[in-house]
Amino acid sequence: ATEGTARVARHDVSAESEEVRRRVGFMPENNPLHEDMRVREYLKFRARLKGLNREESRDRVGDVMEQLSLTDVQHRMIGALSKGYRQRVGLADALVHEPELLILDEPTIGLDPHQIRTVRQHIKELGRDHTVLISSHILPEVEVTCTQLLIFHEGSILATDTPRGLEKQLGGRHRITVELDAPIEVLNRVWEEMAEIEHHRILPAEGNFHRSALTPRDGEDLRPRISALARARGWPLRELTRERHTLEDIFVHITRVEEDF
């Protein structure tokens, strides 16, 4: 950005940069740690760099290690830790000076499923007492972790809302998937004649079944009508599901709408 202002807790980031740094904890994506230092030693070193005195450093390091379940590895070399533990050390570093705002850049990238779940739980717990800002391209992880979302695209903020609020911006649109034992030409004709269906696509499934992906026009739940239709026509019905939009769907929709203007 070349103009404008930014404030953290009412402090200008340019005019009051030292005050802002005291109030912000940051964990970068690559999480640069001193691999030749032990966990407790490293966190005490970082606490002193952030302005805490010797007694404050000792107390805060003990607190964050307990909070992030690092006590059992406090005397181990950082270079010998798993990626999951290293992420927790990075979180502890960001927390050690008790910031009001935590900024985490791709906090779960490169972790295995068990490590992701552990780090996610720690982030949710931190969110009870801190403002936690996560920057991430891993949208499924954002969807299950965050309570408020902000969509950035090419340097501009396109939307900000709760996950449910952003989903509503799609006008309640969703997709219905149905598997029926019926001829494909008959299904095509039936879906085309239903005014409530904006778009449909049919693919072959097992045996004589065909899978139809249906997009209703106004978000109407057509499952009761489709179920009744199958019974009336004597078509065996194997699947009838309604799919909610994912955050990826929402992101693609919002950024595509913006590009159309």
Class of the CATH-defined domain 173-244? alpha beta
As to burial, measured by CB atoms within 10 angstroms (0-12 exposed, 13-18 middle, 19+ buried), residue 26 is: middle
Distance of alpha carbon 75 from the chain centroid: 33
Write the pLDDT tens digit of every residue in 10-58. Answer: 999 999 999 999 999 999 998 889 999 999 999 999 999 999 999 999 9
Name the CA radius of gyration of the chain, rounded.
26
Vertex 254: Cα angle to 251 and 259 (nearest 5): 120
The mean predicted confidence, pLDDT, of the chain is 90
pLDDT digits 0-9 by tens, 121-176:
999 999 998 999 999 999 889 989 999 999 988 888 899 999 888 877 766 567 89
CATH topology of domain 7-147: Rossmann fold (3.40.50)
> For residue 116, what pLDDT is reported?
92
Q: What is the pLDDT of residues 77-132, one digit of tens each?
A: 999 999 999 999 999 999 999 999 999 999 999 899 999 999 999 999 999 989 99
The HSE-up count of residue 92 (CA atoms within 13 Å, CB side) is 33
CB contact at 8 A, 65 and 39: yes
Q: Closest Cα partner for 63 from 91, 37, 82?
A: 91
- Start-end ranges of CATH 3.40.50.300 in the chain? 7-147
DSSP H helices in 146-222? 163-168, 184-193
- Looking at the chain, the domain(s) classified CATH 3.30.70.3100 span 173-244
C-alpha dihedral over 231, 237, 239, 245, to 10 degrees?
-40
Residue of 92, 93, 88 lying closest to 107 (CA atoms): 88
Helices (H), 13-154: 17-23, 39-49, 54-67, 83-95, 113-126, 139-145
Q: Output phi, psi for 135, to 5 deg.
A: -105, 120
Single-letter code of the amino acid located at 110: G
